[in-house]
Structure 1
């Protein structure tokens, strides 16, 4: 049994995981699949990745993989959702909250640094982000994660400055999230850039935009 890894314009591959493991052995098998896929992402990239390669690396038969994942896109989706869930948790961390406009730049800089740290600590984190961005069938996973983070950020901003127009706050937050993730990806793709300076400049840009939004409305 083989998975067709070529996506056509007429058929969109299924990306929903087929079953949730309940027993310890089943959970171990699922984790073997994901670990093997992450290893291979770092070695061959997402375009060359195949379910046959994952099975061989994990020491599993194809039916064992297909019990949980219908194709490689489903495996990538699981990896992407896990990484982005960890990234999104950073907004809830203590110590990442500013109480005044002057502190926003520092807060955003810390958030970007922590996002990069979490991505680096995740096996194939950079490749997982690239696959979410470059694979059309997985675009919804990335976009929904970014929307969720923007909603969290907008809610936090509205909590601090209750008089702001929430729709405008969300638009600003959504833009900030997209720019922030673009910079995180750039750090992984452009190894020659000054990472600290890039993060600092991005933080200044995003905080300036938010400061202007707050100043214009209060």
Structure 2
């Protein structure tokens, strides 16, 4: 008889903090988890360790989070949101109308800015790894990439209305995942030249998107 798969962990926030003291406790939990994640890794991280670091009791933590994965889910969601905010001034029709060389340079610049932002976020690199390594957290990344795809498709189609929207959407989504994977590679192998990776990846992305301009 095949073994049954364990149920995925509950990622739902139990309640949102409203009063100032509750918000302060909530933020201390997130900060403690981020600190510990970089120190002990995903597997050794526990809610007990988070409570000890935050200086709170387990019941205080469990008011908001059912387990460590729910805390990581919140950290991952915040990281994705901050990363995506970099796209807002970039994701305009004028960007997608740039000559291929200039467009590639703008993608490379955005890639390096996102890389630097992630490295400077508290446990940003470790949160990125958690979103890849923990199956229940992968939806955070997938949802964010879906949202970014839609965000970029609109200005692309505005700049190039004769392009095939389905092909453009697929190409944009693949480009997002490829660029994200390249950033993860840089986190895993710091010996690689970040600027060389950014240049190579951006040229690949630019070539594919420019072919769709029509």
Q: 1:125 to 1:143 in 2, by over 3 A?
A: same
Please state how far the C-alpha of 1:90 moved relative to its aligned partner.
1.2
Give the Cα separation in 2 of the matches to 1:160 and 1:147: 20
Please state how far the C-alpha of 1:101 moved relative to its aligned partner.
3.1
Please state how far the C-alpha of 1:173 moved relative to its aligned partner.
0.6
Query: What's 1:122 paired with?
Result: 121
- Aligned match of 1:36 in 32, 37, 49? 32
Stretches of structure 1 lacking an aligned partner (at least 5 in a row): 1-7
- Aligned match of 1:77 in 70, 73, 82? 73
Query: What's 1:47 paired with?
Result: 43
Query: What's 1:174 paired with?
Result: 173
What's the secondary structure of 1:91's corresponding residue?
Answer: coil
**Which aligned runs of 4 or more in structure 1 are off by greater than 4 angstroms?**
94-97
Please state how far the C-alpha of 1:100 moved relative to its aligned partner.
2.1
Q: Are the counterparts in 1 of residues 164 and 212 from structure 2 also a CA contact under 8 Å? A: no
Note if 1:163 corresponds to 2:162. Answer: yes
- 1:50-102 deviation per Cα after TM superposition (whole angstroms, max 9, x unaligned): 10110000001000000000000000000000000011111112598523232
Aligned pair count? Answer: 208
Query: What's 2:209 paired with?
Result: 210
Give the Cα separation in 1 of the matches to 2:123 and 2:181: 17
Please state how far the C-alpha of 1:160 moved relative to its aligned partner.
1.3
Please state how far the C-alpha of 1:188 moved relative to its aligned partner.
1.1
Note if 1:198 corresponds to 2:197. Answer: yes
Q: 1:108 to 1:94 in 2, by over 3 A?
A: closer
- 1:159-207 deviation per Cα after TM superposition (whole angstroms, max 9, x unaligned): 2112212111110010000001101111111111111111110111111
Query: Taking structure 2 as the reference length, what is the TM-score of the superposition?
Result: 0.93
Give the Cα separation in 1 of the matches to 2:91 and 2:15: 38
Please state how far the C-alpha of 1:10 moved relative to its aligned partner.
2.6
Query: What's 2:8 paired with?
Result: 12
Query: What's 1:113 paired with?
Result: 112
Q: Are the counterparts in 1 of residues 91 and 155 from structure 2 also a CA contact under 8 Å? A: no
Note if 1:90 corresponds to 2:86. Answer: yes
Please state how far the C-alpha of 1:121 moved relative to its aligned partner.
1.8
Stretches of structure 2 lacking an aligned partner (at least 5 in a row): none
Query: What's 2:19 paired with?
Result: 23
Give the superposed CA RMSD: 1.5
Query: What's 2:98 paired with?
Result: 100
Query: Taking structure 1 as the reference length, what is the TM-score of the superposition?
Result: 0.91
